[in-house]
Structure 1
Amino acid sequence: MSITATATLVLTASFVIMLLMRFPIALTIAGSTLLTIMYLDVPWVVVGQRMIKGLDSYSLLAIPFFILAGQIMSEGGLATRLINMAQLLVGAIRGGLSLVTCIACMFFGSISGSAAADASSIGSVLIPAMKRKGYKPEFTVGLTSAAAIQGVVMPPSHNMILYSLAAGGVSVSALFLAGIIPCLILLVTLMTTAYIIARKNNFPKGDPIPLKEVPRIMREGFLSMMTGVIILGGIFSGWFTATEAGAIACLYAFILTFFVYKDVPLSHSVIILKKTFRTVAMVLFLIAASDAFGWVLAYLKIPAMVTDLFLGFTDNPYIILLMINLLLLLLGAPMDMAPLILIMTPILYPVVTSLGMDPVHFGIVMILNLGIGLLTPPVGTVLFVGCAIGKVSIDKGARALLPFFFAMIGVLFLLTYVPQLSLWLPNTFLGK
């Protein structure tokens, strides 16, 4: 066996073993990289250099800004105001609270950029409310978990920034714009599925909102949604970059939460900053370790081997894209989303570009695909959050999720094979 083949085996085996031993994913990536470097007799300093290089990117500044903005708004009662806004729009329809959940998750996702934050913030309010109204507990969990996935597709998704870095600098602004139409398609699909189930089970209509409350709800809802408007409006108009949009969104969220809504005291900002720093530190270490891992992949020519493997199997782009989607769906079950983006993008990117697939289009497909993986055990982070809030077992929650899961798979393949759904806005506004 050649040195390259043996090193590839060392990298793969050590990664899988540490993953099965439940090492933290960032340590798993770093550990398997170090073991492979030792076998190849490459100086250890290379790993340190690659990790530092992985963090040397201006685009990375957007991640702490967006995480901080989402954390501020999450702590400041934003979820309740967005829910009230959504209820004003669709609450009176049969199964109205289920439709409110879908819309509220999209609203909140346009601010937090996180599916787990979406599920916990919206779910903590709406899952108990739906259960009190007679909705089946497992349905509330399945719906909320599925609707929360909109947070990874709707800008400002942190995962789009990770993909941009892993793909070698794909425009973050283009990715943000590309996620809007897919998210709206996903929203309509989930709402349609929820409405059909609600009609079948005769779930109740929502409570009417007193007329005198409407102006306040609209005002507070509009102010809350302005965070997303600032981000997207600035990018649409070309006034500022995604990183600058994140900084402005932080400032707006801070003023709105502490000086307009005043739901939490200013002293609470220390707790918010601690939570943000903890999250940012984990993300940055993961990025640094993944950059070193990616260097080892390139050194061993694994991306080229994978490209040859796919193209040697068939030259039909539709079949290759189907195989890539199935591969990502399978990998999304045992692994979390962020590390998969950082690991699989350098491997699959040469494959899709050889097919002529636009990098922005592939980014949206990959992000939705791996977002669906957040719903599938044994990892299934978002599903676990929903089940914990709804006090429902994982198996019941997973069964109730199935109609939404298959609906999302349908959206995934629609986006895969109709690239203009993702590319129209970037092409129109950024001239890609």
Structure 2
Amino acid sequence: MDTALLASLVLFGVFFLLLIIGVPISISIGVSSFIAALTVIPFDVAIFTAAQKMVQGINTFSLLAVIFFILSGSIMNNGGIAIRLINLAKLIGGRLPGSLAHTNVVGNMLFGSISGSAVASAAAIGGVMTPLQKKEGYDPSFSAAVNIASSPAGMLIPPSGALIIYSLASGGTSISALFMAGYLPGILMGLAVMIVAYFIAKRNNYPVAERPTFRQGLIVVLQSLPSLSLIFVVIGGIVAGIFTATEGAAVAVFYSVILALFYRQLKFSHISAILKETVVMTGIVLFLVGASSIMSWVMAFTGIPAAITNMLLAASDNPIIILLLMNIILLIIGTFMDITPAVLIFTPIFLPIAVEIGMDPVHFGIVLLFNLCIGIMTPPVGSALFIGCSVANVSIESVLRPLLKMFAALIVTLMLITYIPWISLALPKFLGLMN
């Protein structure tokens, strides 16, 4: 049997078997990779090489950016910024039918871009908006669907830890270019949800918020400016070349502390919980990166990515069909795998195919992440889905009907982003971050 075929059967067969029986994903990655390595090299060489690749995988300066952004997001989550961003979101989308639903979407986009977490966004923004929507007669299932479908938008809008992980997995794609490329797709994700929410709200005669006075609007903007300034300081500094992504992440931590103290929301008792949350999340990410480094080495050593590339290219020489097949596979993957491991595992597999058909690595990174963002709002393992339903106190079954309409709109948006590279590449090219 061909080496690549045997190794891939062992690798993915053992991996999915371990996932099915409930083994944690990072351990599943490491164990399946080690067993696959045994098909081509002796035990002693395999165990030594696996350990070496695991250490090499996490011994990179870029990963510090992820750790600092995790810490910054944790400080922000405890720093009292959610309600200020919600007030700004209400000002932006408050005159549309179902204004509280649109407020939820914009709030998720703003808070998610700062916290870097769809789950944190769904919990924080949904926790505030759900009672308000219930009080004004909104269907709880509709409210939950809006919150779930819009919560991943902030993961595309920088600063995004997932894009940093992709940069690492892709061999050094420009983080600055990826950050700028994420803006328009992230905004389009939010707009797609808002369009569906608009028609549902209009059909159900959901109320429109009262028009705020100029003074009220000015107060809301001024109160939210310190929080929004984080995005401009960090992203502006990275794009302008003042500091690297890692240094920008450290600046984000410093700014987050100052901001939380300014809002007088950060208490001494919060510090231990913030540090504990950061350490736990960092440990999870580093272990995933280390284990995935073993898998990446096994795949490269046995020629699995090249074999998959040849198989897909043999299926069709039409880039449109190949991209469609890749999207379908990534959407399926996203339904049962979290974003970080999926990016680490499947970037080495699909990026060579994308490059082979003339797709820019920056564009592919956005398409990959958009697919996986849709995945975290779908069963059976959608983390945003479970958090959103829990916050709204509704069943998954009841939320699926309105969610499917938003899911369809997001698929259409995904197709636009896939087949119109300009949407992702216009900003980084305009800013001179790529040719």
Task: Give 2:90's aligned residue.
Answer: 87
8 Å CA contact retained: 1:364, 1:422? yes
> How far apart are the structure 2 equivalents of 1:160 and 1:272?
23
Q: Distance in 1 between matches of 2:48 and 2:286?
A: 19
Aligned to 2:311: 309
SS in 2 for 1:44: helix
Q: Structure 2 counterpart of 1:335, which letter?
A: M
Q: Provide the C-alpha distance between the structure 2 equivalents of 1:89 and 1:163, rounded to a whole number of angstroms.
A: 32
Partner of 1:28: 28
Q: 1:295 aligns with which of 290, 297, 319?
A: 297
**Following superposition, which runs of at least 4 residues in structure 1 exceed 3 angstroms of deviation?**
1-7, 207-216
User: What do residues 226-263 of structure 1 show as CA deviations (whole Å, max 9, x unaligned)?
Assistant: 111112211232222221111111101101102x1111
Q: Which residue of 2 aligns with 1:407?
A: 409
Shift of 1:319: 0.5
| 2:200 aligned partner | 197
State whether residues 38 and 44 of structure 1, in contact with CA within 8 Å, keep that contact through their aligned partners in structure 2: no
Among 88, 104, 108, the residue aligned to 1:105: 108
5+ residue gaps in structure 1?
Answer: none
**1:48 corresponds to which residue?**
51
Give the alignment of 1:51-200 within 5 angstroms.
51-200=54-203
1-side partners of 2:417 and 2:2: how far apart?
41
Structure 2 partner of 1:348: 350
The aligned counterpart of 1:264 is 266
Please report the TM-score for the alignment, with normalisation by the length of structure 1: 0.96
Q: 2:352 matched to 1:387?
A: no
SS of the residue aligned with 1:225? helix
The whole-number CA distance in structure 2 between the counterparts of 1:302 and 1:357 is 20
Contact 2:94 2:209 in 1 (8 A): yes
| Cα shift readout 1:329-362 (whole Å, capped 9, x = no counterpart) | 1111122221111111101111111001000000
Alpha-carbon deviation of 1:366?
Answer: 0.4
Worse overlay, 233-242 or 71-80: 233-242
Contact between 1:79 and 1:122, CA under 8 Å: does it hold in 2? yes
- Indicate conservation of the 8 Å contact 2:3/2:302, yes or no: no
**Counterpart in the other structure of 2:19:** 19
Deviation at 1:88, TM superposition (A): 2.0
Corresponding letter in the other structure for 2:377 = L
Corresponding residue for residue 6 of structure 2: 6
1:7 is displaced (CA, Å) by: 3.2
1:220 matched to which residue of 2? 223
CA distance in 2, matches of 1:364, 1:29: 24
Q: Which whole-Å CA distance do the structure 2 matches of 1:108 and 1:175 have between them?
A: 19
CA distance in 2, matches of 1:420, 1:216: 37
TM-score after normalising by structure 2: 0.96
Q: Which residue of structure 1 lines up, in the alignment, with residue 423 of structure 2?
A: 421
Question: Which residue identity is paired with 1:133?
Answer: E
Question: In terms of mean alpha carbon deviation, does 186-195 or 318-327 score higher?
Answer: 186-195
- 1:279 has 2:281 as partner: yes
Question: CA 1:46–1:122 in structure 2 vs 1: closer, same or farther (change >3 Å)?
Answer: same
Partner of 1:229: 232
- Whole-angstrom distance in 2 between the partners of 1:157 and 1:92: 30
1:3, CA displacement in angstroms? 5.2
Structure 1 vs Structure 2 CA RMSD: 1.5
Segments of 5+ residues of structure 2 without an aligned counterpart are none
Please say which of residues 276-285 and 225-234 is displaced more in the overlay: 225-234
Cα deviation, 1:145-197, whole Å, max 9, x if unaligned, reads: 01111022111111111111111111111100000111122222222221111
Aligned residue in 2 for 1:249 = 252
Identity of aligned residues (%): 43
- Separation in 1 of the partners of 2:91 and 2:4? 61
**1:37 CA drift (Å):** 2.7
Distance 1:431 1:167 in 2: 16
Question: What is the total number of aligned residue pairs between the two structures?
Answer: 431
d(CA) in 2 for partners of 1:95, 1:43:
58
Does the Cα contact within 8 Å between 1:164 and 1:172 map onto a contact in 2?
A: yes
Aligned-residue offset at 1:212: 5.7
Q: Would you say the 8 A contact 1:123–1:144 is kept in 2?
A: yes
**AA in 2 matched with 1:411:** T
